[in-house]
Chain A
């Protein structure tokens, strides 16, 4: 009993220097931890990181290099996370946690050959299309903002679709723009495809 009382006394009446030290350590530690966390997080949000595994480097990345989001007249381009990782913090963390499943996939080698990848392409594509459909193509809209689309500069086919189905919110980007950055799987049974 005496020991407990003594301990309580020590804890409840800390020296001023002690309080200062604890606060300072907490502050510095917080900065280091939070900074380190965000730095690591942004390191995993780069094309170099994504293409660090051969599954990405040999399949999707090679296909992507021929498309307009990689190579175009003005040199503005999107990297993997621009489309596949949300920009704002909450959704980013949710996506990052969900992406830990991909580490498991890497370890078990679910798509470690081209054949396995092609076999698996449809289910992966469907998952990503669903994600984009559910969030109203949020990642597309980070760059392609409907508010600033100039229909007079668009082709007549684009205007026809954008001014009606997209404007009314009936359709979202991914409904029509599938396979713009990667090759498509067998599209039998997918809406809008033959």
Chain B
């Protein structure tokens, strides 16, 4: 009787251990670490804190030629859709002088074939496809990128 009990207990411990290692294998990510840290597959990583969007700044310098300039202000609630385009209320040519905003580039009036239209080309209408605001976050990886000399004079 005693022997049977011992065997039974040993077996249950063994099966438990096997089950445990099996579970471990199933969720092991193999030590892969992303820029946002490592997380097991069965664990939901808690989200990072929201970063604050920088409030009104002077225009930020470009890092390379043809870079769409970055938005140096908050844009909460600014809608750009079929009905309205809040960005153009200041940056459109009609209002830029009055508001002191940067005018949109004439390239925004051009079609893909290079024909200049009388108003913003539909393919350039959705501003935030290219232009984005900045948050006060640190770069995820160290970066020693330097702009070319012709642009770095603005520093």
A-B pair count, CB < 8 Å, reads 43
A179 touches B79 (CB 8 A): yes
Contact of A184 among B84, B92, B120 (CB under 8 A): B84
Residues on B with C-beta less than 8 A from A155 are 55-56, 73-74
Residues on B with C-beta less than 8 A from A156 are 56
B85 touches A185 (CB 8 A): no
Q: Kindly identify, within residues 151 to 167 of chain A, every residue whose CB is under 8 Å from any CB belonging to chain B.
A: 155-158, 160-161
Report Cα–Cα, A180/B83, bound state, in Å: 15
Q: Kindly identify, within residues 72 to 101 of chain A, every residue whose CB is under 8 Å from any CB belonging to chain B.
A: none
Let me know if A11 is at the binding interface, CB within 8 A: no
- Most-contacted residue by chain B among A156, A192, A193 (CB, 10 A): A193
- A157 CB to nearest chain B CB (Å): 5
Residues on A with C-beta less than 8 A from B82 are 186
- Most-contacted residue by chain B among A67, A157, A180, A194 (CB, 10 A): A194
B83 touches A194 (CB 8 A): no
Let me know if B155 is at the binding interface, CB within 8 A: no
Asked, given contacts A184-B83, A187-B83, whether A68 binds B76 with beta carbons under 8 Å apart, the answer is yes
Q: Interface readout for B82-110 with A: 1 if CB under 8 Å, 0 if not?
A: 11111011001011000110000000000
Residues on B with C-beta less than 8 A from A184 are 79, 83-84
Report Cα–Cα, A192/B87, bound state, in Å: 11
A187 touches B73 (CB 8 A): no
Let me know if B77 is at the binding interface, CB within 8 A: yes
Q: Which residue of B lies closest to A122 (CB)?
A: B83
Q: List 9 A-B contacts (CB under 8 A).
A: A68-B76, A155-B56, A155-B74, A157-B56, A179-B84, A186-B83, A187-B83, A192-B95, A194-B92
